[in-house]
Chain A
Amino acid sequence: MSVTYPDAKGRFGDFGGKFVPETLMAPLQEIEAYLTEALQDEEFIAAFQHELKTYGGRPTAFTYANQLTESLGGAQIYLKREDLNHTGAHKLNNAIGQALLAKRMGKTKIIAETGAGQHGVASATVAAKLGLECKVFMGEKDIERQELNVFRMKLLGAEVIPVSSGSKTLKDATNEAIRHWVAHCDDEYYLIGSVVGPHPYPEMVRNFQRVIGDETKTQFDDVKGGLPNRIYACVGGGSNAIGMFYPFLGTGVELVGIEAAGRGIQSPEHAATLTKGTPGIIHGSMTYLLQDEFGQITEPYSISAGLDYPGIGPEHAYLHASKQVRYESITDDEALEAIKTLSRTEGIIPAIESAHAVAQAIKEAETMDPSETIVINVSGRGDKDMSTIMEYFEGSDGLD
């Protein structure tokens, strides 16, 4: 199968596109033009790969989870270790790619939105490394919840701009970043953190993240030969998942994306966009989102700040509609249990986001044959989540 999406209008089937105010059309076209040219330039590609390797630490490890596999008695479980990236998550891959593009465009400043602070930290990090100024928009509620990452960004020299509009979380930080960018696009570049937003962002971020899937393909073939049976990745905006899935589309590998079910998809408190949402427009893109009957965007909920987003990348909406990827959801409780399990069987503490993928894989691995193989994308490490995890388990008393 040849995958040709997005089309010239930036559509993945019915999804994607550019639903933005006229003032944003010119800066988006500018990015598109530079990106097309950059991706055909061997020097640009080489510079990207060089930074991924010598700064980011790629290729990331590919680990056989032998104890977890044995304890479940089902499919053989492999872990793609995006937690081993510099700054602790896959977000860095994209930040490096876009910051290099920003420099190529002659921009001197980058702006970014962040929820948990992971993308903000990755952007601040790359800005420091490449000599760019960096502003990070962050909802006031998230600033309170993620004190440590706010300090990390400031330590890296970035300016953190509190966002007090709307619900004061990631959705509003994204709105505010876009509003700011409209007025400053002559010298600022908007470095978006996932495969969301108007065209060409979803395609661009996918291209910078597909290194995850490309490496996995080679690594799996080296250690086992051929292809795995199933691959699992968590889905917030969807960048680690698309990065992992894209090279495997049409290969027959079963791809599973995991959304956050929060306190349960029967409750109003979840972030299960594909499971419970409906089509519409968010942040310039036609996709699935959580909204009321009048089209007002509603607040999602997940214990994991990185999955706490009311939309999803348009390519996921397309892969869902065309049934090329299966989407499931995992609750807060299930994800936290999976953190404990992976920590104790493999000595790896995953990010709460990544733990959603781990939890779904654990459920399914048990029912699979020991000859079958699965890969879990461990998109990030859990260090950033330690206070949330501690609070959840009520200090160490609740751990056993």
Chain B
Amino acid sequence: MTNHTVTSTFAQRLPKTENMFIPFIMSGDPTPELTIELAYTLQESGADVLELGVPYSDPLADGPTIQQAAARAIEQGMTIQKAIQLIPEMRKRGVHIPIVLFTYCNPVLQYGMETLVKELKKNEADGLLVPDIPLEESEELKQHAEAHGIQLISLVAPNSEERIKRIAEQASGFLYCVSSLGVTGERAEMDPNISSFLEKVKHYSSVPVAVGFGISTNDQVQLMHNYSDGVIVGSKIIKIIEGEQSALLKEDTRDEGLKRVKEQITQLINY
């Protein structure tokens, strides 16, 4: 690790480094206020890290569920700046787990790399995940992130092969393992070779290793806990929220809606 001019809060805020649950939500879907409430509900349901999505017009790594959530959020006027501004509100609401901003590269470039990491720090975020900046293109962003105490989360995939070592060795925060080739979205079955892939990743990684893409059932969660330090769940969370959307949007049924979100998530991650 290089000398930090600003210390990272990621490790301090992280409740545990085993059996982690890392949910993804889309900022502004269905509304900015509910994003804050949902963040709190997820923490109360057992989340260890929150992945906060910035909606993007052309999300190359995402399947239909997250694409549609992004489209709804853009429709609501959500932007990268507004998403960052939700974070202090979440902290006020009692969210104390690490928050990682998930955004595609183009909004980062328009915002400015250094401005972004400064703003993240100022607004009490802990990490940044940019799915379309592979290792080879990440140097500049990584330097800015390190200088401002923001953990840049790396991704590694089953076909990364000899890149696994290089990616894992420089990983910070946690290492995001893509479960199988393809885009985000629920999958009926997990890749049968996943255990050997994860074993290899764990061998080289000095940070916790979490698996994501397609995890949508309790069986899959349990299976992944055997091989990794945690699970990342995106599309399934979006679906659960979608299912409760009408309850969430009405003042008098909101609490019940949030309660049912919590129940479904508890069932999903229970082991």
Contacts and interface: CB of A to CB of B under 8 A. Distances in A.
Nearest to B111: A295
Interface in B42-101: 56-58, 60-61, 63-64, 67, 71, 74, 79-81
Contacts of A165: 64, 67
13 contacts: A23-B159, A25-B134, A25-B160, A26-B157, A166-B57, A166-B58, A172-B58, A179-B63, A183-B182, A295-B109, A295-B111, A296-B56, A297-B106
B155 interface: yes
A284 interface: yes
B157 A280 contact: no
Nearest to A171: B58
Contact of B182 (A23, A280, A295): A23
A37 interface: no
Interface in A266-316: 278-284, 291, 293-297
B131 interface: yes
B182 A281 contact: no
Contacts of B251: none
B248 interface: no
A21 B155 contact: yes
A26 B134 contact: no
Interface string A99-140: 000000000000000000000000000000000000000000
A21 B60 contact: yes
B181 interface: yes
A293 B156 CA distance: 31
Interface of B: 56-58, 60-61, 63-64, 67, 71, 74, 79-81, 104-111, 131-137, 155-157, 159-161, 163, 167, 178, 181-183
Contacts of B159: 23, 25-27, 185
A291 B106 contact: yes
A182 B155 contact: no
A180 to B, nearest CB: 9
A185 B181 contact: yes
Contacts of A295: 56, 80, 106-111
B160 A22 contact: yes
A165 B70 CA distance: 11
B131 A296 contact: no
Contact of A19 (B63, B67, B105, B182): B105
Given A185-B181, A280-B106, A294 B160 contact: no
Contacts of B58: 166, 171-172, 175, 282, 297
A178 interface: yes
A178 B156 CA distance: 18
A326 B64 CA distance: 40
B106 A281 contact: yes
A350 interface: no
A133 to B, nearest CB: 19
A20 interface: yes
Contacts of A284: 60, 132
A382 to B, nearest CB: 31
A25 B61 CA distance: 13
Contacts of B133: 19
Contacts of B136: 9, 17-18, 25
Contacts of B71: 166
A294 B181 CA distance: 29
A24 B156 CA distance: 11
A299 to B, nearest CB: 9
B155 A175 contact: no
A250 to B, nearest CB: 29
